Structure 1
Amino acid sequence: MDLIVKNMNETLATQILTWNYEGPYDFYNNELSDEEIRERLNGTYKALIDENGEVLGFFCTGDSAQVPIGKQYGAYFGEFVDMGLGMNPNYVGKGNGYNFCSFIIQHIKENTDRASIRLTVATFNKRAIHLYKKLGFVKKDKFTTDFAEFITMVKKN
Structure 2
Amino acid sequence: MDYFVRNMTEDIAKVVLDWRYEPPYDFYNSVVKEENMVELLEHGYLGVFDENDQVIGFFCTGSAAQVPVGHLHGVYREDFIDIGLGLRPDLTGKGLGYSFLLFILGYLETVFQNKRFRLTVAAFNKRAIHLYKKAGFHPFTEFDTDSGGFLVMVLEMKP
Same fold, judged at TM 0.5 (above): yes
**Aligned Cα root-mean-square deviation (Å):** 0.7
What are the residue-to-residue correspondences of 1:2-151 with 2, within 5 Å? 2-151=2-151
CA shift at 1:51, angstroms?
1.2
CA shift at 1:130, angstroms?
0.5
- TM-score normalised according to structure 2 size: 0.97
Are the equivalent residues in 2 in contact too, given 1:123–1:151 (CA < 8 A)?
yes
CA shift at 1:44, angstroms?
1.2
CA shift at 1:113, angstroms?
3.2
Q: Given residue 53 of structure 1, which amino acid in structure 2 is its aligned partner? A: D
Which secondary structure does the structure 1 equivalent of 2:107 belong to? helix
Show structure 1 runs of 5+ residues with no match: none
Matches of 1:15 and 1:144 in 2, distance apart?
Answer: 30
Show structure 2 runs of 5+ residues with no match: none
Matches of 2:65 and 2:94 in 1, distance apart?
Answer: 24
CA shift at 1:90, angstroms?
1.2
CA shift at 1:43, angstroms?
4.4
CA shift at 1:42, angstroms?
1.2
Are the equivalent residues in 2 in contact too, given 1:79–1:114 (CA < 8 A)?
no
Which secondary structure does the structure 2 equivalent of 1:30 belong to? coil
- TM-score normalised according to structure 1 size: 0.98
Q: Count matched residues.
A: 157
Per-residue deviation, residues 11-48 of structure 1 (Å, max 9, x unmatched)? 00010000000000000001211110011011410000
